[in-house]
């Protein structure tokens, strides 16, 4: 299933890249998105998938550079065999800032911030992400990202596919 998810995400991304023609207008924009997440590394031993929602504000200084801030909620579902042992789903509230570099409808966006754990006994951890995306239309933003949440040399990471509705204002 993981390979199918990655192939689908990559196919969707590259089909959209070939169609991307939209450039973002100068000024403010707001987007609301949903993310499907595939845990990788040691995190995949604990969870097989995650779902998230987020809101992002961006200020486009020009056609190339924008500053971004985002907040959301990600839930990672514990694997069935671990659930039987009493393990619980893990939730995080990521708060990140970034810089988006655009070229036409394509963009790259590194981000850094904190992820606040919502489960009992969870802590706040360093959150970092690298995202590649494109504007498929004036209101449809599609992106693929790697995100890691790290503390004390333990990193939980995932690959996410974000679909967002974007509104300039």
* Per-residue pLDDT tens digits of the chain, which is 169 residues long: 555 555 555 555 555 544 445 677 899 999 999 999 999 998 999 999 999 999 999 999 999 999 999 999 999 999 988 888 888 999 999 999 999 999 988 999 999 999 999 988 889 999 999 999 999 988 999 999 999 999 988 889 999 999 999 999 8
Residue 155, phi then psi, degrees to nearest 5: -125, 125
Long-range own/partner contacts, residues 91-95 (CB < 8 A, 24 or more apart)? 91/117, 91/118, 91/119, 91/122, 92/116, 92/117, 92/118, 92/122, 92/127, 92/149, 93/118, 94/54, 94/70, 94/127, 94/147, 94/149, 95/70, 95/71, 95/127
Question: What is the set of domains in the chain, with CATH numbers?
Answer: 2-168 (2.40.160.20)
Q: Which among 25, 61, 71, 15 has a CA at the least distance from the CA of 166?
A: 25
> What pLDDT score was predicted for residue 4?
52
- Going from the C-alpha of 76 to that of each of 46, 59, 132, 136, 161, the distances in angstroms are 9, 30, 22, 28, 14
pTM (predicted TM-score): 0.84
> What pLDDT score was predicted for residue 23?
74
* Cβ neighbours around 47 below 10 Å, total: 21
Q: How far is 80 from 121, CA to CA, in rounded Å?
A: 21
> What pLDDT score was predicted for residue 166?
95
> What pLDDT score was predicted for residue 39?
97
> What pLDDT score was predicted for residue 126?
97
> What pLDDT score was predicted for residue 104?
85
> What pLDDT score was predicted for residue 113?
98
Q: Which among 56, 22, 37, 41 has a CA at the least distance from the CA of 153?
A: 41
């Amino acid at each position: 299933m993981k390979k199918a998810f990655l192939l689908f995400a990559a196919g969707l991304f590259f089909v959209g890249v070939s169609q991307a023609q939209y450039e973002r207008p100068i000024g403010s924009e707001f987007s609301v998105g949903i993310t499907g997440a595939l845990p990788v590394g040691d995190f995949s031993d604990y969870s097989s998938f995650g779902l998230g929602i987020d809101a992002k504000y961006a200020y486009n200084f020009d056609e190339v550079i924008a500053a971004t801030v985002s907040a959301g909620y990600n839930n990672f579902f514990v694997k069935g065999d671990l659930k039987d042992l009493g393990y619980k789903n893990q939730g995080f509230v990521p708060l990140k800032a970034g810089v988006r570099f655009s070229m036409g409808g394509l963009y790259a966006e590194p981000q850094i911030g904190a992820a606040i754990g919502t489960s009992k006994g969870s802590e706040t951890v360093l959150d970092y992400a690298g995202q590649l995306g494109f504007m498929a239309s004036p209101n449809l933003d599609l992106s693929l990202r790697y995100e890691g949440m790290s503390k004390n040399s333990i990193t939980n990471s995932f690959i996410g596919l974000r679909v967002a509705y974007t509104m300039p204002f």
